[in-house]
Structure 1
Amino acid sequence: MLLGFKTELHPNNKQKTILAKHAGVARHAWNWGLWLTKNILNHNSHNPARDKLKFPSAIDLHKLLVAMVKPQNFWYYEVSKTAPQYALRYLSLAWKRCFSKVSGIPKFKKKGRDDSFTLDGSISLGFNHIKLPRIGWIKTFEVLPDNVTAKSVTITKKAGRWFISFKIETEPQVTEKLVDVVGVDLGVKSLATLSTGEVFVGAKSYKKLETKLSRLQYLNRHQVKFSKNWKKAQLKIAQLHNRIANIRKDTLHKLTTYLAKNHSQIVIEDLNVSGMMANHKLAKAVADMGFYEFRRQLEYKCELYGSQLTVVDRWFPSSKTCSNCGNVKESLSLSERVFKCEYCNFSCDRDLNAALNLAMAGSSSVSVCGLDNADVARWEAGIEQIIYRKS
């Protein structure tokens, strides 16, 4: 299977300049291609069918770029030709996603915001340095993997630091599992509660550094826009945002690796993250936990370590269901942190109860609604006991 490898580069001042030139050419090619394609779409929408222009592909855009743009902009020849080529390929993919209604209309790129470019060709990897076309050997801050060939690399700039990423071929690593089935309930109070009773507290990096971030943003308000001091303040804010994101990712990587290595089957709930983010009272806490990133990491790590990931339907009443007798409550407010069953007098932590229900749901085949025949029979038996008690 293919895995992404990302590390930080350690370029000198001359290499930083050539990296910035590559990012600038890629950004210019993207913006030019976006301007051209938008004009073509505008022309086609206001003209009859016989006068419509063909929407250009990535190859067509590159041919037009070579014929119309490169002769007028000599600095295109100072960088690798693959930088604008890949920028136009990504633009073509962005339009395809837009036409299929997967994402919105592509936007123009600004200098200093998400600067990146992709290269291919003669790429060589050393112990702690990598050779790139038209750039040469660049040092890295950590040791690169052995016996690996990179066909293409993507270089990005974030908070004043340059990073390189590429794909490597890795064999699945099947590890010895300590637990067969585990249910994982995600929350804002604790990041994850397992059906085994383990509780993992989230990093909550944004909450811890929010005061420092607010202070930097307040001081930045008094700077003259685009001045040197303003740019320095902007860099400090970007570096703090990057630190917050890295702390969150580190916590998620440790948790997902532990789950995938030590559990044969992991059962999680299909959370409506976008709906939770729409709630202004929960949005900050949900974003600080990183639920989407948790599931993304868990998906590829289960494949890497030979585990099975089961996603239960979001309408499955994991929190409202008693894990002891199967009774389902009509309502359960968020303020009730302890689950108490009125019929079997079972009491347990709310998140642990939900994790136990997820583990039971994942131990057998789950249907579309999140319930299987065994669970239905168990809950029917619980309902019969309830009816008997009432009579």
Structure 2
Amino acid sequence: MIRTQKVKLYPNSHMRQALLALCDYRRYCWNQALETWNNMYDAYCVNKIDNRRPNKLRVRDELVANKSEWQYGLSSRTLQLAITDLGVAWDDFFNEELPDWGKPRFKSKRAPRQGFKTDRAKLVKGKLRLDKPHGVANWYDIRFNKHVDLAGTLKTVSIYCENGVFWACLNFEITVERKCKTKQITAVDVNVGHFNYTEGVVRVIPKRLKRLYEQIKYYQRKLAHKRVVNGKKATSTISYRVMRAKLQQAYRKATNIQHDLMQKFTTKLVINFDTIVIEDLAVKKMQMTHVASKGLHRSMFGYFRRLLTYKCDWYGKKLVLAEQSYPSTQRCSQCGYVKQGLEKITLRGNALHGTRHDQYECYQCGAKLNRDGNAVANLLALAK
């Protein structure tokens, strides 16, 4: 399996310039490859000749044949891996079921995050050593902020710069030990702000996150006000850059908190249970208003499912997906009655019978249940 550890880099002034040059080169290679790929694809659509369909090998050969003199002073793997990633992006373009489906776009030098990849890096005496380009005399190893606790073969290293700070994602190929079987089954009902399962409730938007979101809202308003008052000149001022750095730092803190919660919760699930049932939700269809869309985005349904999928794969556990048409919320877990039409529970409850959205009242057997607990029971019945 491939596992990743993120570290903060502390390059000296010389290596900082070298890393920034590689970031610029990665963006240049991506844009050149995308332009070449677009031209090849347009020609293919006109001629419809199968052997002329663009692929990463054809694009790579085209760019290598037209290399400039200055490109030989930089790592060749940056070009190769940029074209490889572009090939993956083009393959995703033909799969419309992906959440961020669309045609690959050009990279901008104004983007707040710039980075590159290499597969020839090494860990030497607690430092990161990149492959040395030809004709470069001074080349140094880079310190990072913590000990790497993953034992395995170092594969691809992704390095990026954000607000003048360099980070590295170290990908290790390791052997994962299977977890002991517990013969236990659980179900997770995901909701905006909290996840319900057989052992209780997990808050995915705690109070500290709400305070961070208030800070983010304040910074966004300040930046928008500066752009309205000063126009295009606002982005070049020092106060604007400082405020934007604070906004990005607040976003990073919020993301780290949520990722930590999700990692711990999914690890707990795969350790304590052998079978886990979740719903296969159509999240895009659930985004009815901008308020609901913001809550869905912050609850990270897709990230939770992605983590649970690969962790169940790692540890030999079974993940069961309930179909989108499965009425986990509308079905009574005691008698099996399914609400239809005006009897359904919505985000505002049920106007016909005057019930709240967090209550489930069965009109056949008379049972009064908690809506989330009832959904968990129905998902458990599906697994059994």
TM-score normalized by the length of structure 2: 0.83
Structure 2 residue 219 is the aligned partner of structure 1 residue 220: no
Deviation for aligned residue 1:254: 1.3
Separation in structure 2 between the aligned mates of residue 362 and residue 100 of structure 1, nearest angstrom: 30
Distance 1:159 1:9 in 2: 13
Match of 1:188 in 2: 192
Query: Residue 72 of structure 2 corresponds to which residue in structure 1?
Result: 77
Cα offset for 1:45? 5.2
Name the SS for the 1:150 alignment partner.
strand
Q: CA deviation at 1:147?
A: 4.2
**How many residues were matched structurally?**
355
Cα distance in 1 between the residues matched to 2:80 and 2:179: 42
Contact in 1 for aligned 2:86/2:104 (Cα 8 Å): yes
Q: Secondary structure at the match of 2:57?
A: helix
Report the equivalent of 1:357.
Answer: 378
SS at match of 1:282: helix
- Tell me which residue corresponds to 1:373: none
Residue 214 of structure 1 and its aligned partner are, at CA, apart by 2.4
Name the aligned partner's letter for residue 118 of structure 1: K
Check if 1:319 corresponds to 2:329: yes
Q: Which position in structure 1 is the counterpart of 2:116?
A: 117
Aligned mate of 1:105, from 103, 106, 126: 103
User: Is 2:84 the partner of 1:89?
Assistant: yes
Structure 1 segment 2-81 matched on structure 2, within 5 A: 2-43=2-43, 54-71=52-69, 74=70, 76-81=71-76
In the alignment, is the contact (CA less than 8 A) between 1:126 and 1:144 conserved in 2?
no
Match of 1:389 in 2: none
**For residues 260 and 277 of structure 1, what CA distance do their matches in structure 2 show?**
29
Relative to structure 1, the CA distance from residue 180 to residue 45 in structure 2 (aligned partners, 3 Å threshold; closer, same or farther) is closer
Q: CA RMSD in A?
A: 2.6
Q: Distance in 1 between matches of 2:272 and 2:95?
A: 39
What code does the residue aligned with 1:108 have? F
Distance in 2, Cα, partners of 1:192 & 1:85: 42
Work out whether 1:140 is the aligned partner of 2:148: no
CA contact 1:61–1:88 (8 Å) conserved in 2? yes
Identity %: 27
1:53-90 CA distances to partner (integer Å, 9 max, x unpaired)?
Answer: 9454333333333332423xx2x234211112211222
Q: How far apart in 2 are the matches of 1:69 and 1:168?
A: 32
- Match for residue 383 of structure 1? none
Aligned-partner SS, 1:108: coil
Taking a change above 3 Å as real, the CA distance of residues 23 and 214 of structure 1, as seen in their structure-2 partners, is same
d(CA) in 2 for partners of 1:231, 1:91 = 31
Q: 1:238 to 1:99 in 2, by over 3 A?
A: same
1:135-174 mapped onto 2 (5 Å cutoff): 136-145=140-149, 147-174=151-178
Alignment partner, residue 339 of structure 1: 360
Against the structure 1 CA distance between its residues 235 and 69, is the aligned structure 2 distance closer, same or farther, given a 3 Å change threshold? Answer: farther
Distance 2:368 2:313 in 1: 36
Consecutive unaligned residues in structure 1, runs of 5 or more:
364-391
From the superposition, tell whether residues 53 and 356 of structure 1 become closer, same or farther in structure 2 (CA, over 3 Å).
closer
Instruction: Please say which of residues 55-64 and 134-143 is displaced more in the overlay.
Output: 55-64
Matched to 1:264, the amino acid is D
Cα distance in 2 for residues equivalent to 1:83 and 1:227: 30
Structure 2 counterpart of 1:300 = 310
Q: Matches of 1:156 and 1:315 in 2, distance apart?
A: 42
Deviations 1:181-221 (A, max 9, x none): 111111114x211124x111122566432321222223224
CA deviation digits over 1:114-160, x for unaligned, max 9?
42211123x32246422111264212222113542213322223454
* From 250, 260, 271, the counterpart of 1:261: 271
Judging changes above 3 Å, is the alpha-carbon distance between structure 1 residues 80 and 278 closer, same or farther for their aligned structure 2 residues?
A: farther
Judging changes above 3 Å, is the alpha-carbon distance between structure 1 residues 147 and 292 closer, same or farther for their aligned structure 2 residues?
closer
